[in-house]
Amino acid sequence: MDPLSSVAFARRCNERGRRYTPFVESDDGVLPDESPSDADLARTIGAAASGSARDAEAELYRRFAPRVRLYGLRHLRDVHAAADLAQQVLLMTIESLRSGRVREPERIASFVLGTCRQVVLDRRRGEARRQENFDRWAAGLSLEESPRPAEEIDSDRLRACLERLAARERSVVVMTFVAERKSDEVAAELGLAAGNVRVIRHRALGRLRACLESEEGRS
């Protein structure tokens, strides 16, 4: 396998994860300081001979992959599709940087976001075609996916913190997040104003964050 191919690159980035080691690149691929900005990374990749700024590329991938994955989750509501999106968008971004097609490396986040939007749009168009085929051929099949696990938050602690919320806050948080309902939907079901529900949710999130980070939440 070509070590500079897209597949090899993605595999290397994924294997590397957070175990990044500072380095000194080739002459035109040196990172400017200990904590370069995203734009520094983009400029480094763009200035290096194609594919030679490997660590800068790995660092760019490591930084942007979680952000793009969140964008994908927000717009696609599917953990696997979001992971695919992250890989696809970042490979396209790095290939564009390598070939000098990113005109403003200092606005690399805008470039990545634009690529995200385009890929999601393309996916949706393709999805419509796939859905037509699915409806035609797969009707009646039972296909279920595992829900996305919540790994970061301890459920016992969260339960204790939810129990410390005011009843109204607890109702709004639960009804919002169980089925991802918007404020006006929750408001209509609870006989409240939508603006009030939003304020209650914002306040409750702050309290939950504080509780989960405190010793109280650990008890």
Q: Which residues in this chain contact another protein in the complex, by CB under 8 A?
A: 20, 22, 34-38, 59, 63-64, 66-68, 70-71, 73-74, 108-110, 112-113, 116, 147-153, 155, 158-159, 162-163, 166-168, 170-183, 189-192, 198, 201-202, 205-206, 208-209
**Amino acid at the residue 70:** L
Is the CB of 5 or the CB of 37 nearer to another protein? 37
Is the CB of 11 or the CB of 209 nearer to another protein? 209
Residue 139 is classified by DSSP as T
CB of 1 to another protein, least distance (A): 27
Is the CB of 21 or the CB of 133 nearer to another protein? 21
CB of 137 to another protein, least distance (A): 25
CB of 136 to another protein, least distance (A): 26
Long-range (24+ apart) CB contacts under 8 A made by 1-9 are: 4/50, 4/51, 6/91, 6/95, 9/57, 9/61, 9/91, 9/94
Question: How many helices and strands, by DSSP H and E, does the chain display?
Answer: 10, 0
Q: Please report how many Cα atoms fall inside a 13 Å half-sphere around the Cα of residue 137, on the Cβ side.
A: 6
CB of 69 to another protein, least distance (A): 9
**Nearest alpha-carbon partner for 85 in 63, 113, 43:** 113
